[in-house]
Amino acid sequence: MVHMNNRSGTETKKRILQVAAEVFAEYGYAEANMRLISRSAGISVGGLYLYFKDKEDLYLTLMNESLDYINQKTRDALKDTHDPIEAITSLITLSVNYAKTNRERILLQGRELGFSFGLEVKKKFFKERRRLIEEIIRDGVAKGVFRSCDPAEKAKIIFSLLRGFVVSIIIDDEALFAAEECLDLILNGLLK
């Protein structure tokens, strides 16, 4: 069942990416092996290397794809939002919902934490998300909606909260919380 033209090539590449995402998500990078990926994609091992330089290349392609996707979604969600409360609500809700409904993508980038390669790309992504939160808080303070505070520091905390949520998706469902409860805590605090 082999077609030998360009069309077939890109189709195959897509199939490989799709299957690889599943395998990496289930086994993690180290445990995933090229034979399994090739078999699942209905291609030979050697065939993989026609489309990707090596295992690392395959993984990084997937990860960049994921990060781009969520960046785009976030931009869309916050596009016309100028109210700080609404903005922070959108961001938290979007993040929580994305993580819940895209477990595979989350596993892909979060399964192994201490990766050497790919870490820089991820870090840049994280930094951008912190900056986004910081802007919202800074705006809220400027508009007199939020208390006066250090936006950068508070942004790190809210970012950590979402980071923790993502980890819970990976290893510990029981610790997952609802977006509304989270917003209530962030906005109002525990005190009476």
Partner DNA sequence: TGTTCATATGAACCATTGTTCACATGAACT
Partner DNA sequence: AGTTCATGTGAACAATGGTTCATATGAACA
Residue 128 contacts a second copy per CB under 8 A: no
Q: Does 7 interact with a second copy (rule: CB under 8 A)?
A: no
Nearer to DNA, 39 or 122 (CB): 39
Output the six-digit token pair for 18.
């799709």
Residue 132 binding partner per list DNA, a second copy, none, with a CB distance cut-off of 5 to 8 Å that depends on partner kind: none
Distance, C-alpha 89 to centroid of its chain: 18
Residue 130: closest CA among 105, 102, 163: 163
Binding site for DNA (CB under 7 A): 1-6, 8-10, 12, 31-35, 42-47, 49-50, 54-56
Q: What angle do CA 103, 91, 175 make, to 5 degrees?
A: 45
The CA angle 163-139-126, to the nearest 5 degrees, is: 25
How many whole angstroms separate alpha carbon 41 and alpha carbon 39?
A: 5
In whole angstroms, the minimum distance from the beta carbon of 45 to a second copy comes to 21
By CB under 8 A, what part of segment 150-179 binds a second copy?
150, 153-154, 156-165, 167-168, 170-172, 174-178
Rg (CA), the chain: 20
Q: Where do contacts with a second copy occur on this chain (CB under 8 A)?
A: 28, 30-31, 88, 107, 110-114, 119, 122-123, 126-127, 130, 137, 140, 144-147, 149-150, 153-154, 156-165, 167-168, 170-172, 174-178, 181-182, 184-192
